[in-house]
Structure 1
Amino acid sequence: MITAALYEDGQRTSAHDSLMENFRELRRHPGGMAWIGLHRPDPAELQSLAAEFDLHPLAIDDALEAHQRPKPERYGDTLLAFLRAARYMAADEEVDFGGLHVFVGRDLVITVRHGAAPDLAAVRARVENSPPDLLERGPEAVLCAIMDAVVDGYAPVVAGLQNDIDEIETEVFGNAPGVSRRIYELSREVVDSQRATHPLVAIPAGLSAGFEKHDIDEELRRHLRDVADHATHVTERVDGFKQALQDILTVNATLVTQQQNEEMKALAEAGHAQNEEIKKVSSWAALLFAPTLVGTIYGMNFDHMPELTWRYGYPAVLTVIVLVCTVIYRALRRNKWL
């Protein structure tokens, strides 16, 4: 997808969806500035741009790669800035990153976008609706506007991450299931955000030094410093999120350990109570063993059992049973089984 326009004296004069038409239009207006935007271009389109504007082959190779570390790089008279824009996907609790390459030449701006963010159509509309003196400052003004949009695009990301962290804090103390997994997944998004935002602080500093070297308008340098301040604020917030998640993870681990200890204690108490019941049942079984044994012996109905004809046999048996049960009972009480 190609979006292109030609600007003269800070005003849009023409727009074409064909690269060749834009090339011809720029040749007819050598004092103008072209802003060509490409969304997920194929190599042939980039090679066509390279041939028309004498872009360095390494710059074209970089533009074909969507996953790079944000950085500025100068190839002769052309500056290439790679930025990582972001948007927050609230439903999935994920940060969607998109690579953006910005070529800045003497009268040229080329943007190569590999993701959904940022919305360059909105950036173009805002720049075109600004006072004409903004675009009269040249391609660097467009670069500053794009960088400003990229950095400002992290504000919803920061807000979304903050909201998720607040929810996780509530879930941790509410013993919600699956909160540990949510902490780890959000930590991964925060780490990715750190990798994307940290270079955004260094890029304006490097560009500012280049602006001074090439005597770029002071207002643009001031704008660039403002972008750097916003990037620093975003980076500090994201760094704070990482520390907050580490603290939450520590608290969650402590609470999980406490819960496990309480469960183990409850199991131990239940086991102890069960053992006490078993001891009582076993004790009563032991007490009943003596009379049961005697009753079993004399219930065998043998013909020759001397005790059956003895006058004092029955009282003697009862006395023995009582004595045996008393001894067993006292032993069980002494050992606290009863």
Structure 2
Amino acid sequence: MEHSLTATPQNRDSRRQASGETPTLVASRVYIKGKQARDVPVDELARVAGEPDHLLWVGLKEPDAVMVGEVARQLGLDSHVVEDLQAKHRLPKVMDYDSVVLVVAMTIEVGASDGLPVYGETQMLIGRNFLLTIRRGAVAPHTELRRRLESMPDKLARGSDFIAAELIDLLIDRYNVAYDVFEKAVGNMEHSLIVRGLEGLHIKRLYQMRRDFQKMHSSIAPLGEVCRRLGHLDFTPISAAARSHFNDLSDRVSRVDRLFDNLGSGLAFAFEAGMLIEQSKQTDTTRRLAAWAAILAVPTAIAGIYGMNFENIPELKWKYGFWVITGLMTSVCGYLYYRFRKAKWL
């Protein structure tokens, strides 16, 4: 379970829990050379962050402005940093404030109830000896990553930049999980389009899937550029050892982005194939109707002529007239039917 801590004394925490509110501070731990992890209240963050060989990792979920402001005050952050932490970001980005670096990444997960994509945002503020993570809209926590790193003190001791790289790697893993789910959904829809065309297809669902893939592309692709910048540019909190890790992450992001892009392209091609199949079906129906109209036009025309009630119509009083006309109509209709069948119109 995530550690549920508070930014205020325990009596305020009790009132928060009694009211049923979800605590915004889900974890606040300090590590000494990757070991001796312990929880730290918000009002002690300033003291802990200033101690040497200490690494502070604070995790917030859906925080309000008061919580963000209090944590920022404890960490000594500039007002511009606080504004960006409280802002809602639409695309991944990296912002340099000399002493700290803010990395924004978009999260893509699959809803457990409906299987639809769930979009969120994860902010990572990287300092020399602290890491502040803020999740908004993201469903899955970072608890498993925290536990895994705590079991490997040597990696945890590498610093906040290494933890940020591991967090981005975790987000990429979740991109792959979402891709596996959507790949099956697209495969089923492609099969339906190829076999049945647009018949029985939910056009709104197809349109929403194409929009989702466009949004996924716009959410994932910029993260590759963010990782490239972190791997090549000289940011104060980013060590040289961590830059190579960010370069590797940039390649991973590019591969995942191509996978989602291929899904969107495959869905578009399948839709075009379904349109062609549907047009072919409509063309076949039009041909059948035209063929039968031509066949039925012959007896209709003859019957219409002999039904005009003129007295002097050839063969009108001939005793074989009916059978001759009936045979003529049958012969002409049969010949037309044969020709249309040969032309595959019927």
TM range, normalised to the smaller chain? 0.7 to 0.9
Q: Is the CA contact 2:49–2:130 (under 8 Å) kept in the aligned structure 1?
A: no
RMSD: 3.1
Larger Rg: 1
Pairing 1:116-265 to 2, within 5 Å after superposition: 116-130=138-152, 132-175=153-196, 176-210=199-233, 216-218=239-241, 220-265=242-287
The equivalent residue for 1:6 is: 30
Structure 1 residues 323 and 136, CA gap change in structure 2 (3 angstroms) = closer
Q: Is the CA contact 1:5–1:12 (under 8 Å) kept in the aligned structure 2?
A: no
CA offset at residue 26 of structure 1? 4.1
CA offset at residue 10 of structure 1? 0.5
- More helix as a share of residues: 1
**Residue 56 of structure 1 pairs with residue 78 of structure 2:** yes
CA offset at residue 61 of structure 1? 2.2
Unaligned segments of structure 1, at least 5 residues: 294-319
Structure 1 residues 55 and 213, CA gap change in structure 2 (3 angstroms) = closer
Work out the CA distance in 1 between the residues paired with 2:315 and 2:184: 77
Unaligned segments of structure 2, at least 5 residues: 1-23, 331-346
The equivalent residue for 1:297 is: none
The equivalent residue for 1:311 is: none
CA offset at residue 71 of structure 1? 0.7
Count of paired positions: 302
CA offset at residue 140 of structure 1? 0.7
Q: Percent identity?
A: 19
The equivalent residue for 1:19 is: 42
Q: Is the CA contact 1:5–1:13 (under 8 Å) kept in the aligned structure 2?
A: yes
Structure 1 residues 284 and 238, CA gap change in structure 2 (3 angstroms) = same
**Residue 89 of structure 1 pairs with residue 111 of structure 2:** yes
What is the DSSP-based 3-state SS (H/G/I as helix, E as strand, rest coil) of the residue aligned with 2:90?
A: coil
The amino acid that maps onto 2:88 is: A
Q: Point out the more displaced range, 233-242 or 38-47.
A: 233-242
Q: Is the CA contact 2:231–2:244 (under 8 Å) kept in the aligned structure 1?
A: no
Work out the CA distance in 2 between the residues paired with 1:7 and 1:162: 41
Structure 1 residues 249 and 93, CA gap change in structure 2 (3 angstroms) = farther
Work out the CA distance in 2 between the residues paired with 1:65 and 1:6: 27
